[in-house]
A and B are shown apart, each in its own frame.
Chain A
Amino acid sequence: MSFGRPPSISGGFSNSAPDRGSFPLDHYGECKQYMQSYLDCLRKNTNNSTPCRHLNKDYLECRMARGLMDRDDWRNLGLNEVRGAAESSSSVVKDNPKDKPNV
Chain B
Amino acid sequence: MFCAATGFAGTPKVGMGKFEAERLVPVEDAKRIKVHFNADTADALPWSFTPQQRFVSVLPGETSLAFYKAKNKSDKDIIGIATYNVTPDRIAPYFAKVECFCFEEQKLLAGEEVDMPLLFFIDRDVLDDPACRNLDDVVLSYTFFRARRNAQGHLEPDADDDVVQASQGFSGYDIAPRAEDRKKSEEKPSS
Contacts and interface: CB of A to CB of B under 8 A. Distances in A.
B103 A49 contact: no
Interface of A: 1-4, 6-7, 9-10, 12-23, 25-27, 29, 32, 35, 38-39, 42, 46-50, 53, 56, 59-60, 69, 73, 75-81
A78 to B, nearest CB: 3
A13 B14 CA distance: 15
B57 A46 contact: yes
Given A3-B154, A39-B52, A18 B62 contact: no
Nearest to B109: A27
Interface of B: 5-8, 12, 14, 16-19, 21, 24-26, 32, 34, 52-59, 61-65, 67, 81, 83-85, 96-104, 106-108, 112, 114-119, 121, 150, 152, 154-157, 165, 168, 170, 175-176, 178-180
Contact of A42 (B17, B56, B81, B107): B56
Contacts, number: 161
B6 to A, nearest CB: 5
A20 B180 contact: no
Contacts of A18: 97-100, 102-103, 118
Given A46-B57, A50-B59, A3 B17 contact: no
A21 B170 CA distance: 23
Q: What DSSP secondary structure best describes chain A's contact surface?
A: loop
B65 A19 contact: no
Given A3-B157, A20-B98, A21-B104, A15 B180 contact: no
A17 B103 contact: yes
Given A2-B152, A56-B63, A77 B119 contact: yes
Contacts of A23: 99-101, 116-118
B18 A10 contact: no
Nearest to A59: B65
